[in-house]
Structure 1
């Protein structure tokens, strides 16, 4: 399990929001709700290890050790696939970035399990949005993360595609045994992911006056 100790998140050492303590079990799914500008993306980046916490920590429950690079993976809102590379090459970027061996067979198997194995040789800029989303999830899973994070994955999607995207992420978490956290202000996800983390903006003394 992963323990979130009460976590103050922000940039430049200045806390902007506080993520309440929680314990994330393998395969569990959580929403991180809040309006735009509430600090959701900053919180995700902190959970992913891309930003240092201002206070608090994210640790393994059994040892108390902090999560290491590669323990968490993030599906960005804009997906950030490399257009000039093939689908397979994009997935193999994940282990390459972590200094791990690139296993094309395992990457192809992962693409197959997410329903896009037939696209392995296609360039990323020739994918539909739905196809690209599945490839981005496959790339995140290629590093075998224990914590899968998604930033506003249903923004600007209609109802049918929003549900399909939520189901894809839940399927991916179940596939990998990772805990899933979805940062979103989309109320349509509440039925699919009822459990929610609590993120509270931190007011400065000037704002509180």
Structure 2
């Protein structure tokens, strides 16, 4: 279980939004809703440990210890694959960045499970959007994170592709046992993911990001 204490998020020590307390069970799925500019991405990056909280903490419920580096992973809205690298090389960047062994067999198994194992040698810039998204999810899962975060993964997608993306993330969280949090303003996800984290503004709307 992961506990979110009342969490003030922002930049340079200035809070722009507040996440209400919540307890995230393994395999559970949550939305982080709000319009553009409400602070969702800042909150998501704070949950991931990429930004420090202004106040509050994200901890393990049984020990009160903070999440460590690598225990949360993000599927970024822009995916951030390296075009000149192969699918396999992109996935293996994650353990390399964490200073962990680069398990090619584990990466291959993960790519196979996500339906893109046959693309392991293909350059990232030759993938379709759906294929690239699956590779980005594989890269996020390769380190076996306990918290999987996705930033606006269905933005600009039609209904069919939005549903497929939601299926992919929900399946990935269920298989890996990670808690899933999706930052989104997409109302289509409300029926698929009824649980929502409460995010309220602290500063002015112009300060949020």
| Shorter-normalised TM range | over 0.9
The alpha-carbon deviation at position 194 of structure 1 amounts to: 0.6
Distance of 1:203 and 1:144 partners within structure 2: 35
Which residue number in structure 2 is paired with residue 111 of structure 1? Answer: 111
Distance of 2:141 and 2:112 partners within structure 1: 13
Distance of 1:110 and 1:100 partners within structure 2: 17
Distance of 1:175 and 1:77 partners within structure 2: 22
Structure 1's unaligned 5+ residue stretches are: none
The alpha-carbon deviation at position 203 of structure 1 amounts to: 3.4
Q: RMSD between aligned alpha carbons? A: 1.0
Q: Deviations over 1:19-58 (max 9, x none)?
A: 0000000000000000000000000000000000000000
Which residue number in structure 1 is paired with residue 135 of structure 2? Answer: 135
Give the total of aligned pairs: 205
Distance of 1:64 and 1:176 partners within structure 2: 22
The alpha-carbon deviation at position 175 of structure 1 amounts to: 1.3
Distance of 1:179 and 1:143 partners within structure 2: 14
Structure 2's unaligned 5+ residue stretches are: none
The alpha-carbon deviation at position 156 of structure 1 amounts to: 0.3
The alpha-carbon deviation at position 115 of structure 1 amounts to: 0.4
Instruction: Name segments (4+ residues, structure 1) moved above 2 Å.
Output: none
Which residue number in structure 2 is paired with residue 75 of structure 1? Answer: 75
Distance of 1:203 and 1:138 partners within structure 2: 36
Which residue number in structure 2 is paired with residue 97 of structure 1? Answer: 97
Tell whether 2:54 aligns with 1:54: yes
Q: Taking structure 2 as the reference length, what is the TM-score of the superposition?
A: 0.97
Tell whether 2:4 aligns with 1:4: yes
Which residue number in structure 1 is paired with residue 14 of structure 2? Answer: 14
Residues 116-195 of structure 1 mapped to structure 2, 5 A cutoff:
116-195=116-195
- 1:183 is paired with a residue of what secondary structure? strand
The alpha-carbon deviation at position 155 of structure 1 amounts to: 0.3
The alpha-carbon deviation at position 192 of structure 1 amounts to: 0.7
